[in-house]
Amino acid sequence: MPRAYITGLGFITSIGNDSRAVEQSLRDLKHGFELYPHFDKPDIPCKVVGTVKGFNTESTDQEDWTYPEVYSFKRELLRTMAPHGLYAHCALIQAIKDAQLTDADVSNESTGLYTASGGSPFLTHHFHSRLQAVGVMRCSPFGIVSSIVGTLNFNLVAAFKIKGASCGFSSACASSAHAIGFAYDEITLGRQKRMFVVGAEDGNKDAILPFAGMRTLSLQTDPSLASRPFDAARDGFVGTGGSTVLVIESEDEVMRRGVTPYCEVLGWGQASDGYNVAISHPEGAGLEKAMRNALQATQLSSDAVDYINAHATSTLIGDVSEVKAIKAVFNQPNIKPLVSSTKALTGHGLSLAGAMESAFSALAIQKGFTPGSAHISKVDPACEGIALLKKTENTAPTIVMKNASGFGGANVSLLFKKV
């Protein structure tokens, strides 16, 4: 069976805009939350967001945007971007550099790009308001390509001259985990030699606030208490945006280029709850099956896994159903794998989450640490019985499982292995 490896990473996240900063935040359990000015209104009950620093994408006019000086953009590129397109472009530049890819390595028929984002409600809203106000013929010709759910792949495929497979994944918070799974398939089926997987979200008011209507956002006003998966006092998730890019390559390409990968992508599994449009299965049935499918696909026994980067978003129901699913799969006298949720530091990246946290896992494997689950002062009794890791450990896990669950009960479980 052909094998696939992660050879490059790029980050624009609430906890850092490059892998060094991200690693430091994960080691020090330093969160990326701030009181968000747009939420500072009496009628908005939630206050905290995992903000992307160093960028300003507040304007609907891309030419007003600011970004770190190391990046430069022509108007021609910017004009079709959503905020998360800008973040993703920067993260992709990092990942290409990190993987030491040449222009020819990036643009050829054997290199593809999969993306995941929820689109840009921010720009969609802007364009539709303008359409109503001034009529459709005075609307930007880029209204669609800069805002609809495919905007990420439209922009990146064109900007980086991608010639291989490309498409976007839309399974809500499981999206970019799905993208990694199918990218792995592209490579191991021999269809592509290299895949970029891009997760990104605007993470602004329009992207996050609607979740308050579902009563799923934390109402905490203290940034250091708002996101605390598995804690008894958790009260919902904290939204975040940004982007993460992973470069996944075939074994042949890794050998040919002589690069050292972060880790191997061992395989993956998925399964659906078939239960509720928005609520996770109370026993975590779909996620349990996804984890079992991943283990079966990789022919690993459950005791081989030594760290689980949980999906746990800090919601009341979701965290408990994931713990139940983990208990069901790792049904030993002492459940071995350490479990943590890095969303305690970043917030919930929605479509970005799976890619971001897989990249954290790859970083942890290569840099030799296991990230802890921050902000737990009292474990929720319903979340007991698993090996919750509260502080970051300075040892690398050998086998990491990364879970992701999305609306409609979509569940993905990915497995990564130290090389």
Partner 1 sequence: MSDLAQTSQATKAPFISLAKPFSPEDEVALREALKRCSPSTFEAAVQFRKTGNPEHLPAVVIGVVERYVEPELRIKLKDAADDLRMIEDLGIDSLTMMEIVILVEDVLHMTINNEELRNLRTVGDVKAFIDCKVRGLPLPKPTKFLPIEHIATVMPIQPPFLFINEASVSSLGASGKYKISGQEFFLQGHFKDNPVMPASIMLEALGQLAVLYLLEGLVPEPGKQVSSSMIYFTGCEGVRAHRICKPGDILSLSIKPKRMKMPLATFEGTIRVGQEKAVIAEEITLTFGFIDAVVPPVEAAPVEVVSNTSTPVASAPKAS
Residues forming contacts to partner 1 in the complex (CB under 8 A) are 63, 74-76, 79, 129-130, 133-135, 137-142
- Residue 348 bears catalytic tag: yes
- Minimum gap (Å) between residue 158 Cβ and partner 1: 12
Q: Which is nearer to partner 1, 79 or 367 (CB)?
A: 79
Going from the C-alpha of 222 to that of each of 22, 34, 218, 227, 345, the distances in angstroms are: 22, 9, 10, 10, 13
Among residues 84, 126, 348, 375, the one annotated as catalytic is 348
Reduced to 3 states, what is the DSSP secondary structure of residue 9? strand
Nearest CA to 172 out of 308, 320, 277 is that of 277
Reduced to 3 states, what is the DSSP secondary structure of residue 289? helix
Helices (H), 29-68: none
Residue with structure tokens 């319903």? 382
Retrieve residue 193's tokens.
Answer: 């030699």
Residue with structure tokens 């030594």? 306
Residue with structure tokens 């991608």? 162
Spatial distance between the Cα atoms of 150 and 405, rounded to a whole number of angstroms: 21
Q: Which is nearer to partner 1, 69 or 76 (CB)?
A: 76
Q: Which is nearer to partner 1, 129 or 395 (CB)?
A: 129
- Residue 311 bears catalytic tag: yes
Spatial distance between the Cα atoms of 321 and 286, rounded to a whole number of angstroms: 10
- Minimum gap (Å) between residue 143 Cβ and partner 1: 11
Element (H, E) at 115: strand 111-116
Among residues 90, 173, 263, 383, the one annotated as catalytic is 173
- Minimum gap (Å) between residue 76 Cβ and partner 1: 7
Q: Which is nearer to partner 1, 28 or 61 (CB)?
A: 61
Helices (H), 258-389: 285-298, 316-329, 343-346, 353-367
- Minimum gap (Å) between residue 255 Cβ and partner 1: 41
Q: Which is nearer to partner 1, 142 or 211 (CB)?
A: 142
Q: Which is nearer to partner 1, 104 or 133 (CB)?
A: 133
- Minimum gap (Å) between residue 147 Cβ and partner 1: 15
Retrieve residue 185's tokens.
Answer: 């398939």
- Minimum gap (Å) between residue 115 Cβ and partner 1: 22
- Minimum gap (Å) between residue 123 Cβ and partner 1: 15
Q: If you write DSSP's letter for every residue of 158-211 in order, what string do you get?
A: HHTT--S-EEEE-SGGGHHHHHHHHHHHHHHTTS-SEEEEEEEE--SHHHHTHH
Retrieve residue 198's tokens.
Answer: 């891009």
Among residues 84, 89, 126, 311, the one annotated as catalytic is 311
Distance of CA 255 to the CA centre of its chain: 28
Q: Which residues of 310-319 are buried (b: 16+ CB within 10 A; e: fewer)?
A: bbbbbbeebb
For residue 212, the 8-state DSSP code is H
Q: Which is nearer to partner 1, 158 or 214 (CB)?
A: 158
Residues identified as active-site: 173, 311, 348
